[in-house]
Amino acid sequence: MPGRTLAHVLLDHVAADGDRLAFEYLHDDGRVDTLTYRELLDRATQVAQQLHSTGPALLLYPPGLDFVVAVYGCFLAGVPAVPTYPPLFGAADRIKQRFARVLADSQATTLLADPFVLSMLTSSGAPEGLPPVVTIDPDTPIDREWSRLPSPEDLALVQYTSGSTNQPKGVMLTHGNLMANMRAISDVFKLDTDTRAISWLPPYHDMGLIGFILTPVHGGFPVRLMSPIHFLKNPLEWLRQISEQRVTHTGAPNFGYDLCVRRAAGKDLSELDLSRWRLAFNGAEPIRMRTLKVFADRFAANGFRSEAFLPCYGLAEATLIVTGRHLDDDCVDADGRVDCGPVIDRHDLKIVDDGEVTDGEGEIWVRGPSISRGYLNDTGQPESELFGDIDGRRYLRTGDLGYLRDGHLFVTGRSKDVLIQNGVNHHAHDIEAAAVLDNPLLRPTAAAFTIDDEELVLAVELAKRTDVDLGELAVDVRAEVLSSTGARVDTVVLCLPGTIPRTTSGKIQRSLARTRYAAGELGGTVVAASSATAVATEPLEELLSSVFAAVCEVAACAPTQALSSIGGDSIRAAEIAAVTEDALALPVPIDVVLDAQTPRELTARLLALWGADSAHVIDRITDLAGSVR
């Protein structure tokens, strides 16, 4: 039916069966909040009635049902929603800086916010240009007159691409874009009213937002949500929920499956029943066949079938999905790349090399009703880099490389200087800028790249020949990059001046730097994330040092050694928190691990946090008898 949007679909659900379950939210302590379709409509209506401007509304919420209500409130009001990360994920200063950039770029006229999160964000002063704040008021009278329902051509969402720390890129998506992509997701994933879904993915963009907050309402099936932090600390809880809730559809980026396997080691999980899990998508970062095989082998006894895996390819500029297919026996090419399936219905995909369609490898171009019309504001990127023309038709240039085999897409790399780590995009120039900023020992010349889609390598040039401790300098570089961008640098290469290749116009040649490094021809001193030799003197320090080392897979970690210096990031911090909690039966918040950074500082903070319970820590460590190492 023409003119329909997700707001119309929600009204239809309420008219047909408003008491049917729509959303659940699983808290870390096991409590479950619920929303029926009628409750969602009523609460979203209360939000819509408070949105008096038609300008974009910035959404600032922790994961949970209030965020869901805010999104649908915007849809009912015909107001573009601009989801943004709260200062709960990663370094608070970095999140605040990102929020300020998104606020300025989006020109939001309203801020829909959770009061507690807003207080965290403004604790050191409100960002400049903060618009009027609206909070969800359950006492707002409900007026069910729908005079402002949007049309398919209206702007529905501005989803800011993840990872960049400089110029934000707000992808504009209309209601028509959303409906087209949700129809495609429903087709590829074979969704129906019998579907049962769960998601721990961040709900602020891409898979978490489109896939699990919008698509379930489009398809009329219930979904249970949980916090990303909950998953990172206890990934096996995701599997337990799949088992207990008889989940049929869920998924994760590659690292999510790796994390489950890692945390399942040595555990008796015979109670898990994964036999009803018929679709396990894998996307958002390079898909590794060995990850799929190891996961399938580990959980085969629990009823998981490898054919449930559905590798897929997509990007924010195409709303979400572009291609996808279930795994089969002919899904891997000679180089180990995984078949991501054919292009979704009503869309067209071309492989283009040097401006011409090719049967070989080239850039992936896509056209169809899911494709965004572009970015909200000028990003400094020429139009010709985002869109291209084939036979008079406009195509999105994805910046990704690939080839087609029998109409199925194999992704081979990226032509953009974007590095993907744990499902998050990091722009190479952001990492490079953070590495050399205000460091007199380094020239403003660096090259960031990945090897085999796994190892993140950062080459930097020394300012001059010096007697500086290169190991300590590499530690400082890693820490600065992690703090500024959230990216975990695996290897630092400290080069002499003039080593990193440039074009004749002075641009860094990252691809050539990667090639030379892989061939052992880049030169310089290679400093991998490594261990130190200092010895812990306190039992808790010793335990934490061993946990740091085990989680980051290094031989040892000194009490004063920073997590970032041994390759740690927020994922590893979550594992450290979870392992320590399991060992000591005391709370270990992830943010405390991230803020403390070293085993010694974490020892002090945890002892202060635990108070009187700290007296029993030594006895518990003694009982462990070195079992956690």
pLDDT of residue 162: 56
Answer for the pair 559, 534: CB distance below 8 angstroms, yes or no. Answer: yes
pLDDT of residue 135: 87
Three-class SS of 241-310: HHHHCCCCEEEECHHHHHHHHHHHCCCCCCCCCCCCCCEEEECCCCCCHHHHHHHHHHHHHHCCCHHHEE
* 501 vs 512: CA distance, rounded Å: 7
pLDDT tens per residue, range 385-439: 899 999 999 999 998 889 999 999 999 877 666 777 766 777 787 788 888 888 8
* 80 vs 319: CA distance, rounded Å: 15
User: ∠ at Cα 265 (263, 270), nearest 5°?
Assistant: 100
216 token code pair: 């379930």
pLDDT tens per residue, range 132-186: 898 887 877 787 777 678 999 999 999 987 544 456 789 999 999 999 999 999 9
pLDDT at 91 over 60: no
Give whichever of 121-130, 132-141, 204-213, 440-449 has the largest mean pLDDT: 204-213
Q: Which helix (H) or strand (E) holds 328?
A: none
* 560 vs 569: CA distance, rounded Å: 17
pLDDT of residue 24: 98
Q: What topology is assigned to 418-528 in CATH?
A: GMP Synthetase; Chain A, domain 3 (3.30.300)
Percentage of the chain modeled with pLDDT above 90: 48
User: ∠ at Cα 102 (96, 104), nearest 5°?
Assistant: 105
* 168 vs 20: CA distance, rounded Å: 39
Going by pLDDT thresholds of 50, 70 and 90, the confidence category of residue 628 is: very low
**Ordered strands of the 491-495 beta sheet:** 442-451, 455-462, 491-495, 525-528
The residues spanned by each domain of the chain are 1-233, 418-528, 539-624
Residue type present at position 604: A
Percentage of the chain modeled with pLDDT above 70: 90
pLDDT of residue 164: 42
pLDDT of residue 304: 98
* 628 vs 544: CA distance, rounded Å: 9
321 token code pair: 């999905």
How many CB atoms lie under 10 A from the CB of residue 160? 24
* 527 vs 521: CA distance, rounded Å: 16
pLDDT of residue 622: 65
pLDDT tens per residue, range 508-536: 888 888 888 888 888 888 888 754 444 44
Residue 36's φ and ψ, nearest 5 degrees, are -85, 170
* 368 vs 576: CA distance, rounded Å: 44
pLDDT tens per residue, range 165-180: 456 789 999 999 999 9
* 3 vs 430: CA distance, rounded Å: 41
Give me the numbers of helices (H) and strands (E) for the chain, helices first please.
Answer: 21, 26
pLDDT, mean of residues 250-270: 91
pLDDT of residue 531: 46
* Residue-averaged pLDDT of the chain: 87
539-624: in CATH 1.10.1200.10: yes
pLDDT at 505 over 60: no
How many CB atoms lie under 10 A from the CB of residue 527? 20
* 171 vs 82: CA distance, rounded Å: 10
Q: What is the pTM of this model?
A: 0.80
Smallest Cα–Cα separation from 287: which of 326, 253, 325, 328?
253
pLDDT tens per residue, range 545-564: 888 888 887 778 888 888 87
pLDDT, mean of residues 196-200: 97
* 214 vs 570: CA distance, rounded Å: 27
Rg (CA), the chain: 25
How many CB atoms lie under 10 A from the CB of residue 144? 9
91 token code pair: 């370094």
Classify domain 1-233 at the CATH class level.
alpha beta
pLDDT of residue 559: 85
Q: What is the DSSP string of 462-487?
A: ESS-----HHHHHHHHHHHHHHHH--
pLDDT, mean of residues 493-505: 79
117: left (phi over 0), alpha (psi -120 to 50) or beta: alpha
pLDDT tens per residue, range 21-58: 999 999 999 999 999 999 999 999 999 999 988 899 99
Q: First CA to last CA across the chain, in angstroms?
A: 61
pLDDT of residue 88: 65
User: Dihedral (C-alpha) 250, 255, 258, 263: value to the nearest 10 degrees?
Assistant: -90
